[in-house]
Structure 1
Amino acid sequence: MNQKKVWLLTMLFVTMVLTSIITGYSHSVKAASSLGKDTLTMITSPDYPPYEFYDTKGGDRQIVGFDVDIAKTIAQELGFKLQIIESDFNGLIPALQAKRADFVMAGMTPTPERQKNVDFSIIYYQAKDTIVALKNRNLKQIQDLAFKKVGVQLGTIQEQNAQKIAQKVRGIELKQLNRVPEIIQEIKSGRIDAAIVEDTVARGFAQANTDLEFNVIPSDEVSGSAIAFPKGSPLVEPFNKVLQQMKEKKELEKLVTKWFSQTTLTATSAESPVKGGLNLDFTRIIPDIPFMLKGIPLTLLFTLLSVFLGLIWGTVLSLCKITGIKPLTWLANAYTSVFRGTPLLLQLALVYYATPQLTGYDISALEAGVLTFTLNSGAYMSETIRGGIQAVDKGQTEAAMSMGVPYRLMMWDIILPQALKNILPALVNETIGLLKDSALVSTIGVVEILRSAQIVGANKYIYFEPLLFAGLIYYILVMGLTRSAAVLERKLRQSE
């Protein structure tokens, strides 16, 4: 009888275990199949250690951090693969609305304003705001900020909290910047008096810059970090279930210890703190130089593609302007007017964020950059090429026409080669401009030279050294391009 009971209990236990495994498996398969894909795309702003940042050791380009570990755990539990893309913080929600990603993890707080546009998970981590300032300024409480300039990161909960503080304390002037390292540098340069920054991030900067201090702002409001989703996303419920499980199993506590401990923050920050002022120590970025150098091929690829395609498009536009057909001339002039009359950064943002919504095509950041710069440079090149064509002696056009040479062949074989030779210096200048302007694509997450330097600066809690090194790289590239163009121009002159 006892053996029967033991056998029945054993079978019941095995059945329960198998049922839970099957249920969990079917739940993850259901979560994956409900979206019709097996990969989730997470978008983040990887300049916010220890939440998310680049591991730059050995030149690697891998985004790591507290949020990344949580996302990997959730994706694994739900049966998905995980893809991570990046953007500036103030571009995360627009990217989510444009369906460029399935969810956002970037230490984001679910404010009422954000909840109007996106859905949020439950809170997975609570942090506190702090006042960061130079030690000798004695700015420890919000009352001390009266009639002071205060820096905040654009689009963050700290910006909103600072606006509330400004309503309570007279004379506060807020200055919004894109990245926390920029805010810290503004404090050190004396352009602002203090900044409101999250405590975990403030601790890292204070450890790396011994002339800084931070003090927690007391608050009765309960806020924290949550995962953002597009409105009506089916992922909210399964994500919440996994987050709740991670809380119950103390897995979140383990990750907090891993990423927010004193040892981790010290390792993430610079090995030799700067003691204030403009003391530069380039030895701090030596281990990260391979990482920054990896941005060179991408910058050159972007520049060459933009120049090549822009030259073709500019030639088409210039021919439309001189063809004598009024509709084509009017369209080409109107196009040039629009693209020369609006900021390049605005055009880039519109192409990157609007294309998925308008066409359904998920254009990559590199494709958006090349397309935008092609359309923009084509407008400028069209005027340069038009001038070069009109500078060619009219006698050659008349001679070709008298010999019965078709217009298309005349332009291709006779006029355009001479025009391009005449405008070569102007084309070189346009190429140099594109090379330097390629830094703008860092705003949509392309990790080129400037973005690489900003990432290193965020990881090391420093500012000048990586940017100066990036400037040196740009200068060497521009000088190489200038020398190559001079050699080409000399050879063209000798062939005349």
Structure 2
Amino acid sequence: MRWKKRKARHSLLFIIALLTLSIVSLMPMLPTDHASAAKKKLVMGTSPDYPPYESVDAKGSGEIVGIDIDIAKYIANHLGYELQIASMDFSGLIAALQTGRVDFVMSGMSVTEERKKSVAFSESYYTARNTIVSRKDKAYETVEQLSGKVVGAQLGSIQDTFAQTIPGAKQKKLNKIADLIQEMNAKRLDAAIVEDAVAIEMVQANPNLVLSFLPSSEEDTGYAIAFPKQTKLVDAFNLELANMKANGELQKIIDKWFEGKKTAVNGSTGGLNIDFGVLNGYVPYILKGVYVTLLFTLVSALLGLCWGTVLSLFKISGVLPLQWFATAYTSVFRGTPLLVQLTIIYYATPQLFNFDIPALLAAGLAFGLNSAAYLSETIRGGIMAVDKGQREASIALGIPYRKMMARIIFPQALRHILPALVNEFVALLKESSLVSVIGVSELMRRADVVRASTFRAFEALLFVAAIYYVLVLVLTSLARMLERRLRRSD
């Protein structure tokens, strides 16, 4: 009984050391928590897939640029703040405000009565018009013509709300503007409701599309800056916006971006034709995501392997509390979707523990903890497959439990489960694309940025798919080399 207690104690110490090591290994790649940073720092949330308001300068500095960014920098500078920009999906911006992850949001966000219930708004800084974007071969010019048609809009946008009011139309909500174009080109969408400046870029980049301006409405409230309800920043921002309107600075920023975009016609042929020329200048930006993807996969795999090993030991320990814990843990993490676990860790941690967990750390924990649930069963099966007589012989010879497991049982179990381990690591590498939903700049997120900039989806996605395939081939080749070496050592 004493060795069982000793084993449980060592296992718990190992868990603590492992989690600490995993967190420390991720910290050099993580942004600083704004709550603990300089007092004069403001964090702005945005979804950089909406040019000319906000997009990533993938061909240049790699920074987020646009109308909203210039306005935010001007205001922050005049108020004496340092501006930090947090990238995330548009649908997650309100949640980021409510959990304190960001101090304010600028992302072409319109003021609505529904949003006013959750956040506070500044005065409007720009009023846009809605447009209908459709294919040239079947163009629509009025709302009445959309009755009975499939109409798309960006999820959570004011255009999404407007589309729901179109009589007889079937709504389709998508996360990205680039997705709307792809769906129209594939003829799964008849039309899309898009804001005018973005629609102009869509049509310029895709000559097979046309746009039609919808009449202005008195209900149009324009774009405004969103804040948490309890903030004291609204009055200060309103004062700066008024000054910008009075001194012409606001109009100067708007003119800079709109005039610059009028001649920025993409050279693609439009339609469903493949033109990898649209990736010119974007390839280095995409390739930088390989490092983040590999780092994330490595840390997640190590955390999953080590924690999964501990869970497997719990399951065979004979100590009932540890067995119950390991069984319940495996049941929960295997019984709920990985994406749900990821978003819970990322969004719930600030709300529950008042800690602004960085996106990459949240992703590493979610994937590592999820992988451990699956690997615990794989490792347990490998341990149980080792001849029971070897354990009995080790105990008879007085070999300590830890030495027996480390030098006798685990090496043999590894030979049995190596193919299953490789499969799990390959799955981690491919599923790493899920972390793009919380703004981690890995391969998939960077492909989304290119899609938003070029308004073409197939080329960037195919290029990223090829990168993933090469990485998987390298991983499987290394695993085969290891497997052959282990066989020769038998």
Letter in 1 for 2:448: Q
Alpha-carbon distance change, 76 to 394 in structure 1, aligned in 2, over 3 angstroms = same
Whether the 8 Å contact between 1:352 and 1:368 is mirrored in structure 2 is: yes
Query: What is the CA–CA distance in structure 2 between the aligned matches of 1:382 and 1:482, rounded to whole Å?
Result: 21
- Name the amino acid aligned to 2:245: K
Whose radius of gyration is greater, 1 or 2? 1
Partner of residue 288, structure 2: 294
2:349 and 2:356 in contact (8 A); partners too: yes
**CA distance, structure 2, for counterparts of residue 56 and residue 180 of structure 1:** 17
Letter of the structure 1 residue corresponding to residue 142 of structure 2? Q
Q: Deviations over 1:424-475 (max 9, x none)?
A: 1111111110001110110000111111111011111211111111111111
What is the CA–CA distance in structure 2 between the aligned matches of 1:68 and 1:379, rounded to whole Å? 42
Q: Which amino acid aligns with 1:453?
A: A
**1:389-468 maps to which residues of 2 (within 5 A)?**
389-468=383-462
The partner residue of 1:215 within 212, 215, 224 is 212
Decide whether the 8 Å contact of 1:54 with 1:64 is kept in 2. Answer: yes
**C-alpha distance in structure 2 between counterparts of 1:38 and 1:299, whole Å:** 32
Q: Deviations over 1:270-294 (max 9, x none)?
A: 2x13232x21111111211000000
Q: Which residue in 2 is equivalent to 1:70?
A: 71
How far did residue 264 of structure 1 move? 2.1
CA displacement at 1:98 relative to structure 2: 1.1
Residues 201 and 261, structure 2, Cα contact 8 Å, conserved in 1: no
Deviation per CA, 1:208-229, whole angstroms, max 9, x where unpaired?
1111011112233222110111
Q: What residue number does 1:39 align with?
A: 41
CA shift, 1:421, in A, is 2.3
1:158-197 aligned within 5 A: 158-165=159-166, 169-170=167-168, 172-197=169-194
Question: Equivalent of 1:49, from 36, 48, 51?
Answer: 51
Work out the CA distance in 2 between the residues paired with 1:137 and 1:189.
13
CA deviations over 1:204-248 (Å, ceiling 9, x no partner)? 010111110111122332221101111120111101100110011
SS of 2:309's equivalent in the other structure is helix
Amino acid at match of 1:275: G
Match of 1:232 among 230, 233, 238: 230
Shift of residue 406, structure 1, vs aligned partner: 2.5
Question: Is 2:315 the partner of 1:321?
Answer: yes
**2:60 is the counterpart of 1:80:** no
Q: Distance in 1 between matches of 2:157 and 2:261?
A: 24
Aligned to 2:149: 148
Cα contact 2:139–2:210 (8 A) shared by 1: no
Distance 1:380 1:197 in 2: 43
Question: How far apart are 1:412 and its partner, in Å?
Answer: 2.1
Amino acid at match of 1:56: A
Assess if the C-alpha contact under 8 Å between 1:50 and 1:265 holds in 2. no
Q: Deviations over 1:242-280 (max 9, x none)?
A: 01100111111111111122x42443x52x13232x211
Q: Secondary structure at the match of 1:229?
A: strand
Query: Contact (CA 8 Å) 1:310, 1:378: kept in 2 or not?
Result: yes
Pairwise CA RMSD of aligned residues? 1.2
Cα displacement string for residues 290-334 of structure 1 (whole angstroms, at most 9, x for unaligned residues): 000000000000000000111011001111111112221111111
SS in 2 for 1:423: helix
Q: For residues 279 and 163 of structure 1, what CA distance do their matches in structure 2 show?
A: 32
Counterpart secondary structure, 1:306: helix
CA distance in 1, matches of 2:235, 2:212: 37
Say whether residues 1:359 and 2:353 are aligned partners.
yes
The question of 1:471 aligning with 2:465 is answered yes
| Aligned residue number for residue 255 of structure 1 | 253
The letter of the residue matching 1:486 is: R
Structure 2 letter corresponding to 1:145: L
Determine helix, strand or coil for the equivalent of 1:397.
helix
Aligned length: 453
Mapped to 2, the partners of 1:298 and 1:37 lie a distance apart of 29
Q: Is 1:264 paired with 2:261?
A: yes
Q: Is the 8 A contact 1:207 1:273 kept in 2?
A: no
Cα distance in 1 for residues equivalent to 2:64 and 2:394 = 61
SS of residue matched to 2:64: strand
Aligned position for 1:305: 299
Q: With the length of structure 1 as denominator, give the TM-score of the two structures.
A: 0.90
Q: Hey, what's the Cα distance between the residues in 2 that align with 1:481 and 1:57?
A: 30
Q: Distance in 1 between matches of 2:155 and 2:310?
A: 41
Q: Secondary structure at the match of 1:119?
A: strand
Residue deviations 1:377-427 (CA, integer Å, cap 9, x gap): 000110110111111111111111111222232222211121122211111
- Residue equivalent to 1:30: none
Question: C-alpha deviations, 1:32-86, integer Å up to 9, x for none?
Answer: xxx981111111000111000011114x321000000000000000001111111
How far does residue 174 in structure 1 lie from its aligned partner after superposition? 0.5
Describe the shift of the 1:193–1:99 C-alpha distance in structure 2 as closer, same or farther (beyond 3 A). Answer: same
Equivalent pair of 2:268/2:275 in contact (CA under 8 Å): no
Identity of counterpart residues, as a percentage? 56
Distance 2:270 2:80 in 1: 48
Letter of the 2:209 partner, please give it: L
Contact map agreement 2:268 2:277 (CA 8 A) in 1:
no
2:110 corresponds to 1:109: yes
In structure 2, how many angstroms separate the alpha carbons of the residues matched to 1:274 and 1:226? 36
- Measured in 2, the distance between the counterparts of 1:79 and 1:127 equals 30
Partner of 2:270: helix, strand, or coil?
coil
C-alpha distance in 1 between matches for 2:129 and 2:281:
32
Equivalent position amino acid for 2:129 in 1: K
Q: Output the CA distance in 2 between the equivalents of 1:205 and 1:279.
A: 16
Is the CA contact 2:422–2:479 (under 8 Å) kept in the aligned structure 1?
Answer: yes
AA partner of residue 213 (structure 2)? V
Q: State whether residues 109 and 157 of structure 2, in contact with CA within 8 Å, keep that contact through their aligned partners in structure 1.
A: yes
- Give secondary structure in 1 for the equivalent of 2:273: coil
Separation in 2, partners of 1:336, 1:147: 47
Structure 2: how far apart are the matches of 1:226 and 1:298?
34
Structure 2 match to 1:29: none
Identify the residue that residue 11 of structure 2 maps to in structure 1.
none
The 8 Å contact of residues 204 and 266 in structure 1, kept in 2 or not, is answered as no
In 2, Cα distance between equivalents of 1:183 and 1:385: 44
